[in-house]
């Protein structure tokens, strides 16, 4: 049996053309036509003023925090239900993270919990320097509400759209609602450059500063001169060529992932105790990963049993992200739940499952996944 991965790279066929162009022009090292082209493609696709491509989504978040002047002992609020890359850059700056719970309508940051956290922070005279809002598994958060709350406290938003490139909210592309937006092109994302990311913004001057910081903060001088610390974060021109080929099929990849979600939904939506991540009204999720919760008291089978069954049959499936407030790395960090004694993130982690969702899955691959899960469900 061939291995079915959770989300494997899916090439368009045109990536090699852009890579060859880099070879023909001898622009192998960082920067070049592909870097410029990919930045232009991203800005145009997302209807935003500018984009700076870097070597990871993590680097993009780190640069956003630098641009917002986050320093040692400052506070940054962040979604708890996310991958650790959303939060690690806070530590890079020596700042203190505070984690905010999710809500069930989107599985993303709870406006109610955020409001509570900001109110308390204002009373303590310690408002955060930034709020990092994550769009989980391709689904936009309740971004209007969240940004409005942040604006009322004059706190800038970083929209972590690492998983939601190609998604939209009220007709506007994901990643374009905050002061900065972040995308990831890791190997498992909806499109990939093998490894890479981007910082996007309508603040073109800020992105000029981001590029400066990402190229070792080298001053304008004939000799090598540096007046502040910088990073080696810029994307390779070769890698950017892969990205240009991938951007050509982004909308197609969104359509393919949504079709995969629809097939899973048709198979299991009527099963009591199995509930898929909702799509908020007015939004379009790229459905990067099909995610659902499984209540073993109702279904008669646990998330763990499904993961084990699929693994035995050479199929990769995973629990949803372990929330940051439950990670050993962040033990003792302040956390605001959706409601008192009701942590939505804990619930989603306990019962949540991500199914194989790669856009290069065949119908037969998906049916194989579905049939193995159905074998575990009690017969009615």
Give the H/E segment covering residue 100. Answer: strand 96-100
Locate all alpha helices (DSSP H) within the chain, ordered by sequence.
Answer: 15-25, 33-45, 57-67, 88-92, 111-123, 143-152, 204-214, 237-247, 250-268, 296-299, 303-312, 344-351, 363-376
Residue 234 β-bridge partners? 54
Q: How far apart are alpha carbons 42 and 37 in whole angstroms?
A: 9
Q: Please give the span between the terminal C-alpha atoms of the chain, in angstroms, as a whole number.
A: 29
Q: What is the DSSP string of 317-336?
A: -EEPPPPGGGSGGGTT--EE
Q: Single out the catalytic residue among 189, 208, 322, 374.
A: 189
* Widest CA span in the chain: 77
Packing angle of the helix pair 204-214, 57-67 (nearest 10 deg): 120
State whether the Cα torsion 141-142-145-148 is positive or negative.
positive
Contact (Cβ atoms closer than 8 angstroms) between residue 8 and residue 316: no
Strand 352-355's sheet: what is its strand order? 274-276, 290-294, 352-355, 318-319
Tokens representing residue 213 in the block:
């910081």
Note if 2 is an active site residue: no
Contact (Cβ atoms closer than 8 angstroms) between residue 81 and residue 321 = yes
The closest of 151, 129, 109 to 64, measured between CA atoms, is 129
Q: Which positions are annotated as active-site residues?
A: 189
């Amino acid at each position: 049996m061939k291995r079915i991965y959770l989300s494997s790279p899916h090439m368009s066929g045109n990536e090699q053309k852009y890579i060859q162009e880099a070879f023909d022009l001898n622009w192998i090292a960082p920067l070049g036509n592909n870097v410029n082209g990919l930045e232009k493609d991203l800005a145009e696709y997302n209807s935003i003023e500018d984009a700076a491509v870097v070597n990871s989504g993590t680097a993009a978040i780190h640069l956003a925090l630098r641009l917002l002047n986050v320093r040692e002992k400052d506070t940054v609020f962040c979604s708890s239900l996310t991958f650790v890359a959303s939060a690690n850059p806070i530590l890079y700056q020596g700042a203190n993270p505070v984690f905010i719970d999710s809500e069930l309508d989107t599985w993303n940051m709870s406006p109610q919990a955020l409001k509570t956290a900001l109110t308390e922070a204002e009373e303590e005279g310690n408002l955060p320097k930034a709020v990092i809002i994550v769009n989980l598994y391709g689904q936009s958060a309740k971004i209007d509400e969240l940004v409005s709350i942040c604006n009322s406290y004059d706190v800038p938003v970083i929209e972590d759209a690492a998983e939601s490139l190609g998604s939209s909210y009220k007709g506007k592309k994901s990643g374009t609602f905050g002061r900065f937006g972040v995308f990831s092109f890791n190997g498992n994302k909806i499109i990939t450059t093998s490894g890479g990311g981007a910082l996007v913004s309508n603040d073109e001057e800020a992105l000029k500063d981001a590029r400066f910081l990402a190229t070792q903060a080298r001053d304008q001088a004939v000799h090598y001169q540096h007046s502040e610390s910088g990073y080696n974060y810029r994307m390779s021109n070769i890698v950017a060529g892969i990205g240009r080929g991938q951007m050509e099929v982004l909308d197609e990849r969104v359509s393919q992932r949504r079709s995969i979600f629809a097939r899973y939904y048709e198979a299991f939506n009527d099963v009591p105790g199995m509930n898929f991540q909702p799509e908020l009204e007015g939004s379009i999720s790229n459905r990067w990963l099909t995610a659902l919760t499984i209540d073993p008291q109702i279904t008669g089978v646990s998330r763990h049993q499904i993961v084990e069954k699929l693994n035995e049959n050479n199929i990769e499936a995973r629990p949803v992200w372990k929330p940051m407030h439950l990670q050993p790395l962040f033990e003792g960090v302040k956390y605001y739940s959706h409601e008192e004694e009701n942590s939505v993130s804990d619930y989603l982690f306990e019962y949540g499952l991500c199914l194989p969702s790669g856009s290069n899955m065949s119908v037969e691959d998906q049916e194989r996944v579905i049939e193995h899960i159905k074998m575990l469900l009690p017969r009615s």
